[in-house]
């Protein structure tokens, strides 16, 4: 991947992340249940991954996520907010 492609991907990631964060905040302000929001986001993310990756690659993404949870990385993120 070229440096320009990497920069474009980081910019896209930043834009997507900001949009997701705004959507989450909006739904919380509308008193939507946190588990419902998280479940909907996870389902949507998995559907999007299914368009871009094969099943084995999706499993690797999920295994990385599980490893992050087991390592306590998500707790460290929430504790700093």
How many domains, the chain? 2
The per-residue pLDDT for range 22-32, each reduced to its tens digit, is 999 999 999 99
In terms of residues, how long is the chain? 81
Residue 37 structural domain:
33-81
Task: Indicate the average pLDDT of the chain.
Answer: 92
Q: Which pLDDT value is given to residue 6?
A: 76
Q: Which residues contact 37 (CB under 8 A, 6 or more apart)?
A: 24, 27, 28
42 and 26 within one domain: no
Shared domain for 41 and 28, answered yes or no, is: no
Least confident of 30-34, 66-70, 72-76: 72-76
Q: Are the C-beta atoms of residues 43 and 37 closer than 8 Å to each other?
A: no
Does 16 have pLDDT greater than 80? yes
Distance of CA 28 to the CA centre of its chain: 17
pTM of the model: 0.76
């Amino acid at each position: 991947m070229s440096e320009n492609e990497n920069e474009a991907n980081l910019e896209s990631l930043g834009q997507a992340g900001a949009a997701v964060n705004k959507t989450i905040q909006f739904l919380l302000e509308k008193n939507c249940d946190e588990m419902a929001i998280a479940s909907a986001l996870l389902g949507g993310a998995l559907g999007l991954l299914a368009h871009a990756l094969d099943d084995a690659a999706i499993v690797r993404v999920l295994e990385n996520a599980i490893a992050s949870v087991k390592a306590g990385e998500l707790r460290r993120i929430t504790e700093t907010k």
